[in-house]
Amino acid sequence: MNFEVFITTALTGSGDTTAKSDKVPVTPEEIARDAIEVAKAGAAVAHCHVREPDTGSPSRRLELYREVVDRVRSADVDVVLNLTAGMGGDLMLGGIDHPLPLDEAGTDMAGEAERLAHVSELLPEICTLDCGTMNFAEGDYVMTNTPSMLRAMARRIQALGVRPEIEVFDTGHLVMARKLLAEGLIDDPLLIQFCTGIPYGAPDDPLTLLSMVGQLPPGAVFSAFSIGRMQLPFVAMAALAGGNVRVGLEDNIYLERGVLATNAQLTERAVTILTTMGARILTPAEVRRKLSLRKRP
């Protein structure tokens, strides 16, 4: 078991959760507010997507990221910012009879410089790198991250001095992560986020998690989470497996059956679970030392 655990709270994501819960932050002001609140509740890391303020739809707009980051950095609270770089790899085929042309409404494909524009300007301490391609949920959608794209993005992230958090949705993604590390495109320590319970990736069962943990290279640091009702049980499971934890409204909107949660409440529940197990919650400063992060102004 890991007795010194850091908590990441994923604040909003890009899914259709805003239609299901009015507690999911949408505007830059709301996302920044939640980042500040989860830091006060015990999260060392706030993982941020942005959404279009008028519609709640996922967005890559730089000005939205800029407002979130400026608000958090100007607040009287310490938190490590982790910005997604997953947007821009969304491929929606046109259907089983006519895959082409693509469904333009659901497709958002961008080059590596465009996908990392907000990271290049805002220089968060951490940004994500989805380390593979997979069928993601139902229909004709494919999360698309080719080896050449991943190498280019990893190279740019490394040059910026930002720590990549490698998002591993299945075992093959971990193979790619090890390859990037061996090629010198990722600096030690390797930071892995095991993302489980998402169709059609790794299931959220103990044997699968332990199998992936067993394939980590020496010195790697990992977190793990599951979605939906398994999010809070996975807080205990991730710590027992030797890792750190992630909670938040990106992955689960309920505190308990029928009770909608806030990001702060999910963070507080994670703190309760971990401290009851005898673990100590790491501060942002301790996480920076653990991950060799470059603190930004």
Render pLDDT for 220-267 as a digit per residue (tens, 0 to 9): 999 999 999 999 999 999 999 999 999 999 999 999 999 999 999 999
pLDDT of residue 297: 64
Task: Detail the DSSP E strand segments found in 174-275.
Answer: 191-196, 221-226, 244-247, 254-256, 259-260
Predicted TM-score (pTM) of this structure: 0.95
Tokens 């996908």 -> residue? 115
Assigned CATH class of 4-86+125-134+144-291: alpha beta
What are the pLDDT digits (tens) for 61-105? 999 999 999 999 999 999 999 999 988 999 899 898 899 998 888
CA distances from 260 to 83, 198, 249, 254 (A): 25, 21, 10, 4
Whether residue 274 contacts residue 281, with contact meaning beta carbons closer than 8 Å, is answered with yes
**Does 37 have pLDDT greater than 70?**
yes
CA 158, CA 149: separation in Å to the nearest integer?
A: 14
Residue 146: phi and psi, rounded to 5, are: -75, 160
Rg, C-alpha atoms of the chain: 18
- d(CA 283, CA 101) in angstroms, rounded, equals 49
- pLDDT at residue 296 is higher than 80: no
First to last CA, the chain: 34
